[in-house]
A and B are shown apart, each in its own frame.
Chain A
Amino acid sequence: MFDRPTEFDHATLLDVLARADVARLTALAETLLPQLQDVEVLHSRTGLVMLPMRDTVKGTDFHLGEVLVAEAHLRAKGCEGYGMVVGRNLEQAMAMAVVDAVASLGQSPEIQAFLAAESAEITARDTARLCEVEATRVDMETF
């Protein structure tokens, strides 16, 4: 079930990076950083993302509340990188931006292997939780 094309589309790449293990993501970013030249950091900050939701009764979109995020945006010679993660870990967002920038120049085998491994781990984590959730499925009988 973990078979994937070697090339990850941009949305999947970003989804996986945002949920990847922080220590491993940071380590990967450090190894990739020398490939970027003249890095200019446009943003490295925390801020708010407003989260709307759709009411299931009348279909009205409303604001549920704000989520604190960490954002990083960088520009290097010939590319840009962007990271945004729920929480306040600026280092995690910057690491995501570095990998995004390098990947925009071409997804190396190293990046693809990282994405495949992290994606598999995220899927395994979600599956394990949903197996626990499934154990609570109930079939009520009425008398």
Chain B
Amino acid sequence: MAYVATRGGARAIDQSERLYRAELGQIDATRVTTLRQSLPNLIDRVMGEASLYEPDLAALALAQTGGDLYEAVLLLRAWRTTQPRLAIAAPVLQEDLITHRRISAAFKDIPGGQILGPTLDYAHRLLATDVLQGRPYTPTPVEPAATPAPAHQPSLAAWQKAQGLVADPLREDVAPDAIPDLTREPLLFPAKRAHTLQSLARADTGGMLALGYAAMRGYGNAHPTVNELRLAEAEVRVTHPSGTVFSAGRVKVSQAEVTSKGKSGQLNLGFCATLGWNEVKVISGATLDLNAAAAPKGSPVEEEFFLYHTEPVEASGFCIHFKLPHYVTFQSALDALRGAKTAEVPA
């Protein structure tokens, strides 16, 4: 591919940016706060894909880009590079999650029970058009139970491992600062599992859904059933200079396991988790993880295929770069076309 520097058009470029920003109008703290409060699911999606947890900054990125998700993720990823890394927290363990929603589609009677939590799964999808007629929509309040749900729920996978239903591989202890990190090293294949899961955690939701859905429809090796889905809060456990470990606060996380019957007489499991609450993303990601093991080269469920093609900043950046001047490339193609046509004409 050939690139060429172009010159000129500075005024038009300046005015085009002004035109874009003029349509968004003035951005102030009130707009940012309103976005953060009214669009928590979108904020979560942007934070997950940006791999940066800070709801106010995610809301600001959405305000500045008029809701263009790829531009918002790019802004946050770029801003993230201005910040020093201060620490690596203690690993989040499933049994320590403060669980708000936890369901299984595979097992009805799971240890700890099924808790629907906040969801529209069983709701009618009706547009509240009365709002546009000046009649506000006010949600009906929850009728709380007399006793609280346990903050922590047991792990279904751990129970399945104890029952011999799924494999229980020996795990290797890795110090937090030795965990492979995609922000510091390239993604190489075959990928380390830590790279695969980190890459899925920050992947594009839409891209993961498209490829995960392809697997669900039959372009994969295994049909998924949700083994366990959780929406939860995780403590960010850091270390005081004296050595005391404490929680600096909580962040929202989601995680999914999907399962299918394996050939070894056990169940196979796929896993995915992300920052924020984003069920479609983690179910799709777990489906891709489940299918990756036996995937043929070039299939949508092959690890290299889905990890490369769901990286939101690289994918969207490559897509939109085609808008930029390609005159030399195209001129070359045009010359070749004209040359071929000239050669076809008898002298």
The CA-CA distance from A57 to B168 in the complex, in Å, is 8
- Using Cβ atoms and an 8 Å threshold, which residues of chain A touch B198? 62-64
A54 to B: closest C-beta gap in Å = 5
Given contacts A18-B248, A46-B83, A73-B241, contact A64 B147 (CB under 8 A): no
The CA-CA distance from A62 to B253 in the complex, in Å, is 14
Partner of B100, one of A54, A133, A138, A142: A133
The CA-CA distance from A18 to B142 in the complex, in Å, is 28
Cβ of B83 and Cβ of A68 under 8 Å apart? yes
Cβ of A18 and Cβ of B54 under 8 Å apart? no
Q: Is B30 an interface residue, CB under 8 A from the partner?
A: no
Given contacts A14-B240, A54-B92, contact A133 B149 (CB under 8 A): yes
Chain B contacts with A in 245-266, Cβ cutoff 8 A? 245-251, 253, 255, 257
Q: Is A106 an interface residue, CB under 8 A from the partner?
A: no
Q: Is B158 an interface residue, CB under 8 A from the partner?
A: yes
Partner of A64, one of B94, B115, B145, B275: B275
Cβ of A62 and Cβ of B144 under 8 Å apart? no
Cβ of B86 and Cβ of A69 under 8 Å apart? yes
- Using Cβ atoms and an 8 Å threshold, which residues of chain A touch B155? 56
Interface size on B, residues (CB 8 A): 88
Q: Is A66 an interface residue, CB under 8 A from the partner?
A: yes
Chain B contacts with A in 21-78, Cβ cutoff 8 A? 47-48, 51-54, 56-57
- Using Cβ atoms and an 8 Å threshold, which residues of chain B touch A139? 113-114
The CA-CA distance from A77 to B196 in the complex, in Å, is 49
Q: Tell me the dominant secondary structure on chain B's binding face.
A: mixed
Chain B contacts with A in 93-118, Cβ cutoff 8 A? 93-94, 98-101, 108, 113-118
Given contacts A10-B242, A47-B83, A67-B89, contact A142 B108 (CB under 8 A): yes
The CA-CA distance from A81 to B247 in the complex, in Å, is 16
- Using Cβ atoms and an 8 Å threshold, which residues of chain A touch B164? none
- Using Cβ atoms and an 8 Å threshold, which residues of chain A touch B194? 60-63
Chain A contacts with B in 105-143, Cβ cutoff 8 A? 126-140, 142
B190 to A: closest C-beta gap in Å = 14
Q: Is A86 an interface residue, CB under 8 A from the partner?
A: yes
Q: Is B328 an interface residue, CB under 8 A from the partner?
A: no
Cβ of A66 and Cβ of B157 under 8 Å apart? no
- Using Cβ atoms and an 8 Å threshold, which residues of chain A touch B148? 126-127, 130-131, 133-134
Partner of B182, one of A63, A84, A127, A130: A63
CB closest residue in chain B, given A142: B108
CB closest residue in chain B, given A51: B89
Q: Is B273 an interface residue, CB under 8 A from the partner?
A: yes
- Using Cβ atoms and an 8 Å threshold, which residues of chain A touch B249? 18-19, 69, 85-87
The CA-CA distance from A3 to B6 in the complex, in Å, is 72
A53 to B: closest C-beta gap in Å = 4
A65 to B: closest C-beta gap in Å = 4
The CA-CA distance from A132 to B145 in the complex, in Å, is 6
Q: Is B162 an interface residue, CB under 8 A from the partner?
A: no
The CA-CA distance from A131 to B148 in the complex, in Å, is 4
Given contacts A47-B84, A58-B169, contact A63 B179 (CB under 8 A): yes
The CA-CA distance from A9 to B145 in the complex, in Å, is 32
The CA-CA distance from A53 to B145 in the complex, in Å, is 31
- Using Cβ atoms and an 8 Å threshold, which residues of chain B touch A51? 53, 89, 92, 234, 236, 251, 275
Some 10 contacts from A to B, beta carbons below 8 A apart, are A46-B83, A48-B52, A54-B91, A60-B171, A64-B198, A64-B275, A85-B248, A88-B57, A136-B101, A137-B114
